[in-house]
């Protein structure tokens, strides 16, 4: 590391420390409880020990976070935002509760939780802590103060606001909960640390959508953490829609722990961001648990999209299904790393992983790596990766039926993506994602490799 960048980095750390100190003093949200302060303190120290990752680390080999690590970002503050400004990030005709966070802080005026059934709590973190959520919850502590996740530690150090969704045992919430994180992206570079906590009781059912978006095209930084605790026999649908500005940086970790017979589905749709790193970690922690991870990303221009998933088969008779698809154009770069761990006693594991990348330009690149670590002997594990261009035979077939070249390309690209979009649970979301995709395609898929 050169002397200049070492200085830059140290200035960056000092910036975080100064914002951290202000936050601990109460910042613009006074009345911080002692346990929360302690948790943050531990996390900040942990982050200090870990530091930002570098490409010398195996998990970050293909993704440099230097635009994040060498630049100071001011902690985002609540700003006045109108419904008109965010309406394009909402999903038409999607029922259910809506929580809107602006620069990481809950906007009460934009949020609408409506009448929730008994046994369901949809709150901001502050309220949740005030009404019984314990800062010593393992799910809050472990990510921020243990392990090798510097960004999660940083997120925990700045734990302030966020969405907490708690479902009691035996409660079925039919309508989804949509949590929207908006960055206003003012002139200065701003960081937010969104946190979503989804605690699902036994035999309960819930669907949560997280959307991330920016109001302006600017270089802000979003550092998000989502934690899902899926109780025995619960059914959880999670969908993340990333529509950040094309100049922004987004790092996110989703951690899910599944108890016996829990079923968790995650759909991760990445349509924005200059530099995106999505980490998903799933622990199948009880017999018969099942997870499905689907992903779709678009990487055009100079976008860099990195998806890392880890599925830990820690119990017998668990199943995992994974399908990630990417569309790359221009100088787009993508990374897919899919790790599957099958522990010694996780017999009868059934794990399937597939990832496919469609390269529309000669300069687009994808680094894809399945990583299977199997310690049990009676398991089924299958993985496959394909990287390719549009099928020339299919293109000719469509053209021979009268469809123009551009139209034929568009149809084939859409078909490639629809495969994943159709797995998203709610029809209004499918429709909206289809529409967004269509909007993006003219800029991503002109067929020009210039």
Residues lying near other proteins in the complex (CB under 8 A) are found at 391, 393-394, 396-405, 407-408, 411-412, 414-416, 418-419
Name the minimum Å distance from CB 4 to other proteins. Answer: 49
Name the minimum Å distance from CB 353 to other proteins. Answer: 19
Are 28 and 78 in contact, with CB atoms under 8 Å apart? Answer: yes
Of the two residues 139 and 411, which places its CB atom closer to other proteins in the complex?
411
Name the minimum Å distance from CB 417 to other proteins. Answer: 8
Name the minimum Å distance from CB 278 to other proteins. Answer: 24
Of the two residues 375 and 396, which places its CB atom closer to other proteins in the complex?
396
Of the two residues 45 and 406, which places its CB atom closer to other proteins in the complex?
406
Length of the chain: 450
Name the minimum Å distance from CB 342 to other proteins. Answer: 30
CA 208 to CA 122: how far, in whole Å? 11
- The CA-atom distances, in angstroms, between 265 and each of 215, 240, 261, 371, 408 are 29, 11, 13, 21, 32
CA 389 to CA 361: how far, in whole Å? 8
Instruction: Name the one residue in this structure whose structure tokens are 């009460």.
Output: 108
Three-class secondary structure assignment of 86-119: HHHHCCCCCCCEEEEEECCEECCCCCECCCCCCC
Name the minimum Å distance from CB 442 to other proteins. Answer: 17
Of the two residues 319 and 408, which places its CB atom closer to other proteins in the complex?
408
Residues 6+ apart with CB under 8 A from 400: none
Of the two residues 49 and 401, which places its CB atom closer to other proteins in the complex?
401
Of the two residues 301 and 447, which places its CB atom closer to other proteins in the complex?
447
Name the minimum Å distance from CB 254 to other proteins. Answer: 27
Q: What is the DSSP letter of 426?
A: -
Of the two residues 375 and 397, which places its CB atom closer to other proteins in the complex?
397
Please give the angle made by the CA atoms of 226, 61 and 219, to the nearest 5 degrees. 60
CB atoms within 10 A of CB 328: 25
In this structure, what token pair is assigned to residue 220? 């802000």
Are 284 and 255 in contact, with CB atoms under 8 Å apart? Answer: no
Of the two residues 3 and 400, which places its CB atom closer to other proteins in the complex?
400
Of the two residues 25 and 406, which places its CB atom closer to other proteins in the complex?
406
Of the two residues 56 and 401, which places its CB atom closer to other proteins in the complex?
401
The H or E element containing residue 24 is helix 3-24
Exposure class string for 281-310: b at 16+ Cβ within 10 A, else e:
bbbbbbebbbbbbbbbbbbbeebbbbbbbb
Name the minimum Å distance from CB 386 to other proteins. Answer: 13
CA 170 to CA 285: how far, in whole Å? 20
Instruction: Name the one residue in this structure whose structure tokens are 């899902």.
Output: 228
Name the minimum Å distance from CB 354 to other proteins. Answer: 13
Determine how β-strand 249-258 pairs with β-strand 275-284. Answer: parallel
Backbone angles phi, psi at 26, to 5 degrees: 115, -30
Name the minimum Å distance from CB 213 to other proteins. Answer: 27
């Amino acid at each position: 590391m050169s002397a200049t960048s070492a200085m830059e980095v140290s200035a960056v750390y000092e910036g975080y420390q100064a914002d951290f100190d202000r936050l601990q003093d109460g910042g613009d949200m006074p009345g911080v409880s002692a346990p929360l302060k302690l948790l943050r303190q531990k996390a900040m120290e942990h982050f200090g020990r870990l530091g930002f990752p570098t490409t010398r680390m195996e998990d970050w080999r293909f993704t440099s976070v230097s635009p994040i690590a060498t630049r100071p970002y001011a902690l985002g503050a609540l700003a006045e935002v109108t419904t008109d400004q965010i309406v394009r990030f909402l999903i038409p005709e999607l029922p259910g509760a809506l929580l809107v966070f602006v620069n990481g802080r809950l906007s009460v005026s934009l949020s609408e939780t409506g009448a929730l059934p008994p046994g369901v709590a949809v709150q901001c973190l502050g309220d949740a802590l005030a009404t019984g959520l314990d800062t010593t919850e393992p799910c809050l502590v472990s990510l921020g103060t243990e392990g090798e996740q510097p960004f999660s530690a940083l997120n925990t150090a700045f734990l302030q606001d966020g969405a907490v969704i708690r479902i009691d045992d035996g409660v079925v919430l039919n309508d989804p909960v949509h949590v929207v994180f908006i960055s206003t992206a003012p002139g200065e570079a701003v960081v937010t640390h969104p946190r979503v906590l989804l605690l699902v009781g036994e035999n309960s059912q819930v669907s949560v959508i997280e959307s991330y978006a920016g109001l302006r095209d600017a270089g802000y930084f979003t550092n998000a953490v989502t934690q899902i605790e899926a109780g025995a026999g619960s059914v959880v649908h999670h969908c993340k829609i990333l529509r950040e500005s094309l100049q922004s940086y987004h790092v996110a970790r989703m951690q899910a722990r599944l108890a016996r017979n829990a079923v968790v589905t995650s759909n991760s749709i990445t349509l924005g961001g200059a530099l995106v790193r999505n980490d998903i970690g799933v622990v199948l922690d009880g017999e018969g648990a099942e997870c499905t991870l689907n992903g779709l990303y678009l990487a055009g221009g100079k976008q860099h999209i990195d998806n890392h998933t880890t599925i830990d088969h820690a119990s017998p008779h668990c199943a995992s299904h994974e399908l990630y698809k990417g569309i790359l154009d221009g100088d787009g770069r993508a990374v897919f790393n899919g790790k599957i761990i099958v522990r010694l006693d996780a017999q009868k594991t059934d794990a399937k992983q597939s990832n496919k990348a469609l390269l529309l330009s000669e300069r687009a690149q994808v680094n894809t790596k399945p990583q299977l670590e199997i310690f049990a002997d009676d398991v089924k594990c299958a993985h496959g990766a394909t990287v390719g261009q549009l099928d020339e035979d299919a293109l000719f077939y469509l053209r021979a039926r009268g469809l123009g070249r551009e139209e034929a390309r568009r149809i084939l690209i859409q078909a490639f993506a629809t495969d994943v979009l159709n797995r998203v649970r709610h029809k209004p979301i499918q429709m909206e994602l289809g529409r967004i995709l269509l909007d993006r395609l003219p800029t991503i898929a002109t067929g020009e490799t210039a």
